[in-house]
């Protein structure tokens, strides 16, 4: 038990308030501390040194006199006090601009109460601190309201309306400092401290919200890591143990040890398995199978250690069962169509046009694009545009599951294939996608073993379940997607070259949002709905100038944030702090990359838009050109646009075709733009 000493000027003038402070501390710290009260008068009389684990001083004027009685000033905390929420509600009923006398047991406490009330926002009142020495002058006689923290005996009798805001309590920040000084960290204390925080009125909400955030984060880490059903160990490059959770302790019977060789904590056989087994490998420990995940930990480019995670095969089968149940509940179907892809940019128009041409074939498709650009949305749209739209659409993220579990998910398993397997086996996702489409997201991250099996499925249109020797024919269209450079991975030996060319039959690349900024506002309008009208021109400019590294997913998250809180997130405010927000919106769009030429040069601007929309088999139509011009604040009639297009065609810079072929730029037009 820790000893907390509270030192006052005297113990005789206001003992009820002193007793109140003791009870407040005991309510928060309970049996973890014992409280002792001292007065400066008593210490001077006895001339004895104070002994304790922490010293709370009622005010900072006690610091100098106490230097003779306290040897370690690091243990001293100046006690601050706060007003209870329940005591201040009546203050709101006092008419604005009223003079209000603030009365406490002594002038310093009175001034402290005045400051705190002003900090809490009671600026509509004229708060006057009561000084007993000035009472005879009669300066307070015209005041009708008084506020006092339970010191009613000090309030002059001529005051008409007295509001008792109850005794002030020890502040939250003082409690937090005391808990840190005493090195107390128990769940009960955190609970009591949060209860105390909720009971008081505090002006510094950011400080207290930060405490709640850190506490909740700590609880989350305890829940996710310390109490995880996975065994987790963290080691440095020399395999010295840095951290282990409770599950790892149960598995290896690790005694309390830190920063010692792992060989001193676990047996030699287990050490060799952990040290030399590859990532996502199956290891046998204590008669049970575990999947080992071995994650390198790096500081910049320097390897500093590994995070070793072991999950039992039994638990993985449970995850598999839950995942399969969820997939069945959701149904294997594609809910999106090309009409759901919001856009006005020529780049996206060209991408959709190409996707529709590919969709009516049965070729394997490789969709490439950064994270968040909408690769699955495009895959679902292709499926619903194809002849397979009446069959299943099965999507699987290749990075969300360990290799062993992903293999059983994709190809299925037969009866008795492994411990925990269903007696009758289970069909894999390729079988369940028969006659339909399977979408393999993040295909670039699958292991070499799965790459070889996937190549066989693409070549032979056949799968073999785990633990079976029977071939199953499947009729499945494969759409793969990746946000990495597969060609570079092929060169580095990380991805099979033959599989790459099997997947890359018809490549489809989705342009990142920062390169088609004209799509930002239409997408934002869809995500925000009526809330879009609350965005000022300045805020729209900020949205256009921001690079959106998370693409459409980040834009949608931003819209959710704005709809919920009505403000921009900090990352967007900081990134666009130097944006020229005084430009007209059309000019802001140009500055952000919507158009790189002044609107006055319409022919050059049109040529640029046509160049962006030109593809080998089609160009851009007049309707889309008019939409793009309007998005930049340029209004043209269809007749005027025809006239400008005719001038560009006469100059040999574009080709104007009939129907859906639209306008395409020529080599002469490309040279004109380059120079």
pLDDT for 383 equals: 93
Picking from 444, 513, 514, the residue whose alpha carbon sits closest to that of residue 483 is: 444
The tens digit of pLDDT for each residue in 564-611 reads 888 888 888 888 777 655 544 544 444 444 433 334 467 788 888 888
pLDDT for 258 equals: 59
pLDDT for 418 equals: 57
Asked if 413 and 421 touch (Cβ cutoff 8 Å), the reply is yes
pLDDT for 587 equals: 42
* Bridge pairing between strands 54-57 and 76-78: parallel
Which three-class secondary structure state does DSSP give residue 159?
Answer: coil
Asked if 378 and 341 touch (Cβ cutoff 8 Å), the reply is yes
Token readout for 90 is 């009546």
Phi-psi region of 31 (alpha: psi -120 to 50; beta: other; left: phi over 0): alpha
pLDDT for 374 equals: 93
Q: Which H/E stretch holds residue 23?
A: helix 15-29
Asked if 585 and 630 touch (Cβ cutoff 8 Å), the reply is no
The tens digit of pLDDT for each residue in 142-180 reads 999 999 988 888 999 999 999 998 888 888 888 888 988
pLDDT for 203 equals: 61
* Bridge pairing between strands 472-473 and 462-463: antiparallel
The tens digit of pLDDT for each residue in 511-533 reads 999 999 899 999 999 999 888 88
pLDDT for 592 equals: 42
pLDDT for 317 equals: 72
pLDDT for 328 equals: 47
The tens digit of pLDDT for each residue in 340-392 reads 999 988 889 889 999 999 999 999 999 999 999 999 999 999 999 999 888 88
| Residue ranges in the chain whose pLDDT is less than 70 | 202-227, 255-259, 319-331, 415-424, 579-601, 616-617, 631-633, 659-660, 675
Phi-psi region of 112 (alpha: psi -120 to 50; beta: other; left: phi over 0): alpha
pLDDT for 459 equals: 87
* DSSP one-letter string for 640-670: HHHHHHHHHHHTTSEEE-SGGG-EEE-HHHH
pLDDT for 597 equals: 36
Residue 281 buriedness (CB in 10 A; 0-12 / 13-18 / 19+):
middle
Which three-class secondary structure state does DSSP give residue 129?
Answer: strand
Helices marked H in 222-266? 246-252
* Bridge pairing between strands 200-201 and 365-368: unpaired
pLDDT for 481 equals: 94
């Amino acid at each position: 038990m820790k000893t907390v000493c509270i030192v006052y000027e005297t113990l005789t003038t206001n003992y009820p308030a002193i007793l109140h402070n003791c009870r407040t501390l005991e309510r928060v710290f309970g049996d973890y501390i014992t409280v002792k009260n001292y007065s400066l008068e008593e210490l001077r009389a006895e001339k004895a040194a104070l002994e304790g684990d922490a010293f709370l001083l009622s005010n900072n004027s006690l610091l100098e006199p106490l230097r003779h009685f306290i040897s370690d000033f690091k243990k001293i905390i100046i006690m601050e006090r706060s007003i209870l929420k329940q005591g201040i509600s009546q203050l709101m009923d006092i008419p604005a601009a009223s003079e209000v006398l603030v009365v406490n047991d002594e002038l310093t406490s009175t001034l402290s109460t005045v400051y705190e009330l002003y900090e809490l926002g009671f600026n509509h009142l004229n708060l006057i601190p009561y000084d007993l020495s000035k009472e005879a002058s009669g300066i307070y006689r015209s005041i009708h309201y008084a506020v006092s923290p339970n010191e009613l005996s000090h309030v002059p009798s001529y005051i008409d309306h007295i509001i008792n805001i109850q005794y002030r309590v020890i502040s939250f920040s003082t409690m937090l400092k005391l808990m840190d000084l005493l090195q107390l960290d128990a769940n009960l204390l955190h609970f009591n401290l949060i209860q105390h925080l909720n009971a008081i009125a505090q002006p510094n909400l950011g400080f207290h919200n930060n405490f709640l955030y850190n506490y909740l984060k700590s609880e989350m880490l305890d829940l996710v890591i310390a109490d995880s059903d996975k065994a987790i160990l963290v080691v440095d490059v020399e395999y010295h143990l840095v951290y282990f959770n409770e599950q790892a302790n149960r598995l290896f019977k690790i005694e309390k040890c830190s920063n010692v060789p792992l060989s001193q904590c676990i047996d030699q056989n287990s050490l060799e398995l952990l040290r030399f087994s590859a990532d996502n490998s199956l290891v046998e420990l204590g008669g049970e199978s575990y999947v080992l995940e071995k994650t390198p930990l790096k500081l910049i480019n320097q390897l500093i250690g590994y995070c070793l995670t072991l999950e039992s095969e039994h638990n993985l089968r449970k995850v598999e069962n839950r995942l399969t149940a969820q997939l069945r509940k959701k149904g294997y179907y594609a809910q999106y169509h090309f009409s759901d892809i919001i856009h006005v940019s020529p780049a996206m128009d060209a991408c959709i046009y190409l996707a529709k041409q590919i969709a009516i074939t049965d070729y394997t498709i490789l969709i490439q694009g950064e994270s968040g650009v909408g690769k699955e949305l495009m895959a679902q749209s292709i499926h619903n545009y194809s002849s397979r739209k009446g069959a299943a659409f099965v999507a699987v993220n290749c990075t969300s599951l360990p290799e062993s579990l992903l293999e059983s998910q994709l190809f299925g398993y037969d009866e008795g294939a492994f411990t925990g397997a269903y007696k009758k086996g289970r069909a894999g996702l390729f079988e369940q996608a028969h006659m339909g489409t399977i979408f393999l997201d993040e295909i670039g991250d699958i292991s070499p073993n799965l790459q070889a099996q996937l190549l066989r499925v693409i070549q032979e249109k056949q799968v073999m379940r785990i633990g079976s020797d029977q071939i199953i024919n499947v009729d499945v269209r494969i759409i793969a997607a990746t946000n990495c450079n597969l060609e570079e991975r092929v060169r580095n030996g990380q991805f099979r070259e033959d599989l790459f060319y099997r997947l890359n039959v018809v490549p489809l690349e989705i342009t990142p949002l920062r390169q088609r900024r004209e799509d930002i506002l239409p997408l934002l309008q869809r995500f925000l709905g009526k809330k879009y009208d609350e965005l000022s021109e300045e805020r729209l400019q900020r949205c256009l100038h921001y690079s959106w590294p998370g693409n459409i997913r980040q834009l949608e998250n931003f819209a959710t944030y704005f709809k919920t809180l009505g403000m921009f997130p900090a990352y967007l405010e900081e990134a666009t702090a130097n944006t020229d927000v005084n430009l007209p919106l059309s000019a802001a769009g140009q500055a952000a990359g919507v158009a790189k030429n002044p609107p006055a040069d319409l022919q050059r601007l049109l040529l640029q838009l046509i160049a962006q929309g030109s593809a080998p088999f089609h160009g851009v139509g007049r309707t889309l050109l008019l939409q793009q011009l309007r998005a930049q604040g340029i209004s043209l009639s269809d007749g005027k646009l025809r006239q400008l297009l005719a001038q560009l065609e006469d100059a040999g810079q574009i080709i104007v075709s009939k129907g859906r072929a639209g306008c395409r730029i020529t080599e002469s037009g490309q040279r004109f733009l380059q120079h």
